[in-house]
Chain A
Amino acid sequence: MVNQSNQPLPTGYQLDEYIIERQLSLGGFSIVYLAADEQGNPVAIKEYLPNSLALRKEGEIVPQISDENLPAFRYGMRCFFEEGRALAKLQHPNVVRVLNFFRANETVYMVMQYERGRTLHDFIHRNKGQIRESFIRGVFARLLNGLREVHTHKLLHLDIKPSNIYLRIDGSPLLIDFGAARQTLASDQPMLKPMYTPGFAAPEQFRSRDQLGPWSDIYSIGASMYAALAGSAPPPAEKRAERDEMVPAIKRWKEGYSVQLLETIDCCLQLDPLSRPQSVFALQRQLAQRHKRRQPSLLSNLRTKLNKPIW
């Protein structure tokens, strides 16, 4: 396969009712643009453009798709529709919202709400090693509400990682990029190999895809929490499966974080899918546990205070 890279649509290009501002990100399957709608509101537009199957050269608008690649291109489009279908039904404050879906330039586009903020990935890098437990609990507890909604719709995200967790200006998290979701179906189309991110993908994601389940996303949640503490991704699961060199959270951070949080992270990061929390709900319960214990009643607070030595 020739290593080719697709050119983004030019700034100012009128795409349906939207005007392209700039490219936000480039993935193996798609390009995401910042654009403005007719009222001038910012939107994010995702363009289906798999690198290996379609090529847009410099100065061109319509990508070239060879006859040979057309079936695979169309098959990938099916997956893109799956993503759209799934997201269309999801209305949750912690899941990115789809606003429109249309066809142009021989391919398809998904319009999503654009939010100001930054990714958790950026946040981790700017605050390396200084992220507090309350921040982690706050972000992930709300994010898990969104993920629960995703799982309720019989969908797996399969690419949860700090760069797909978006933090709005007010700090509330938003789960973005469902490009890997449902691509479970495409795992044997050689050119549409599912993309996963080393360190965040569960071991079953590249070994035994028939074992995928909510627990696979939970592994990624655990890895993201681990990354928030460590400032970098944990070792890839396939390396861990051979020889596990990951220092468990409970050993690595003795200070600053509660045992319960660290144990929860380690539990999510179990290589055996069955050893992890089996549902988002189960994980949420674990994340909520400490608050119960750490928020003693007013009476017991008083008692502790009164029992303290006076000096």
Chain B
Amino acid sequence: MKFSIFQDTRQGQRRYNQDRIAYCYSRDALLMVVADGMGGHLHGEVAAQIAVQYLTESFQREAKTALPDPFLFLSRGLTNAHHAIVDYSFDRDLPEAPRTTCVACVVQDGVAYWAHAGDSRLYLLRRGQVALRTRDHSRVQMLLDEGMISAEEAMVHPNRNKIFSSLGGHTSPQIDFSRKTPLAAGDVILLCTDGLWGPLDGERIARSLSGTNLALAVPQLMEVAEQAGGAHCDNLSLVAMAWEDGDAPQVISTQTLALDHFTTQMEGLLKSRLPASASDLSDEEIERAISEINSAIKKYSK
């Protein structure tokens, strides 16, 4: 597989970041996940974390080096993550079960498979346009489908954040699956939370992410969305992947990966709290730290 991938999450103007994102790939399969935790206060992020962690862990268990059945993987993964969140809230006796949206996508043999619950979206961008996108499990999307409101009205509808399917919570989630979607060179798959797609329209997103270097285009797009989100900007997160994106230096080729090797990027809880070099403290560094401390002691003691 050859692709380039980039992910980013921002807190916006909220007090917490309840979004969680991750991607993970083996030699023959790629998983991308985005989850947007809800539940009033603080447990939302736990729900999102459980969903993302559960999916990436099962992926690492099962993708050796390809998944036997990507749809089965997604279906089981999302359902089990739902139960894991419910169990979590039961164990802790939480008054209301935390919930999270979830959109997950597997790419294998040049074919994309995805599933989602809630209003975090997947876009397939092809030749600068939105070729496909997931249909939100939201009241507003229903009204739109029934022709009760227009697309413009939907963008400002007061209930646009109300969703009827999510992982966790008291009711079983409604999970929608894609078709098997073959990818063409240059296609971009974008998974994102409503903080990103809310203030932007699809065309804008498609234009900014097509045919460019994602590592440059994504931060710009995030910036635009955050600006447009204004004073109440929600958490905004995305994972973007460009398929067979030429031979640019940022392109990852998985052919050289060892059979049991996985590369995982998970952001949210881990980001900024655990430095990448956290565990490799060498003997020299230990010695250096000790002498540094001792010289500080000498310097400051009188």
Contacts and interface: CB of A to CB of B under 8 A. Distances in A.
Interface string A68-90: 00011011011001001100111
A85 B290 contact: no
A189 interface: yes
Interface in B262-293: 269-270, 273-275, 278-281, 286-287, 289-290, 292-293
Contacts of A185: 273-275
B296 A85 contact: yes
A188 interface: yes
B297 interface: yes
A91 B275 CA distance: 29
B179 interface: no
A54 to B, nearest CB: 15
A103 B293 contact: no
B274 A188 contact: yes
Contacts of A85: 289, 292-293, 296
A264 B290 CA distance: 41
A74 B279 CA distance: 6
A188 B46 CA distance: 13
Interface string A266-290: 0000000000000000000000000
Given A74-B280, A75-B279, A85-B293, A188 B270 contact: yes
B289 A71 contact: no
Contact of A101 (B42, B275, B290, B302): B290
A236 to B, nearest CB: 14
B300 A88 contact: yes
Interface in A32-84: 71-72, 74-75, 77-78, 81, 84
B293 A84 contact: yes
Nearest to A184: B273
A189 B269 CA distance: 11
The secondary-structure label for the interface of chain B is loop
Nearest to A210: B16
Given A81-B293, A89-B296, A103-B290, A188 B279 contact: no
A184 B302 CA distance: 31
Contact of B297 (A75, A98, A187): A98
Contacts of B294: 88, 100-101
A72 B279 contact: yes
Given A74-B280, A78-B281, A185-B273, 13 more contacts: A74-B279, A81-B293, A84-B293, A89-B300, A91-B300, A91-B302, A98-B293, A99-B297, A101-B290, A184-B273, A188-B274, A189-B274, A211-B15
A91 B296 contact: no
Interface string B40-60: 001000000000000000000
A71 B280 contact: yes
Contacts of B289: 78, 81, 84-85
A97 interface: yes
A10 B173 CA distance: 59
B256 interface: no
Interface of A: 71-72, 74-75, 77-78, 81, 84-85, 88-91, 97-103, 108, 184-189, 207-211, 242
B290 A102 contact: yes
B274 A207 contact: no
Contacts of A184: 273
A184 B95 CA distance: 28
Contacts of B297: 88, 98-101
A89 B300 CA distance: 6
Nearest to B11: A210
A187 B268 CA distance: 13
Contacts of B95: 242
Given A77-B286, A91-B300, A103-B286, A208 B280 contact: no
A188 B269 contact: yes
Nearest to A211: B15
Contacts of A100: 294, 297
A202 B289 CA distance: 31
Contact of B296 (A72, A88, A186, A211): A88
A72 to B, nearest CB: 7
A188 to B, nearest CB: 5
A187 B290 contact: no
Contacts of A186: 274
A98 B292 CA distance: 13
8 contacts: A78-B289, A88-B293, A88-B297, A89-B300, A98-B293, A100-B294, A102-B290, A208-B42
A184 B274 CA distance: 10
B242 to A, nearest CB: 30
Contacts of A91: 300-302
B281 A187 contact: no
A195 B234 CA distance: 32
B50 to A, nearest CB: 14
Contacts of B15: 208, 211
A134 B286 CA distance: 46
A149 to B, nearest CB: 12
A187 B301 contact: no
Quick one: which of B274, B289, B293 has the most chain A CB within 10 A?
B293
Interface in B4-36: 15-16
User: Top 10 nearest A-B pairs by Cβ distance?
Assistant: A71-B279, A88-B296, A74-B281, A81-B289, A101-B293, A84-B293, A88-B297, A75-B279, A75-B278, A88-B293
Contacts of B280: 71, 74
Nearest to A110: B293
A88 B16 CA distance: 34
Interface in B51-104: 95
Contacts of B273: 184-185, 187-188, 209
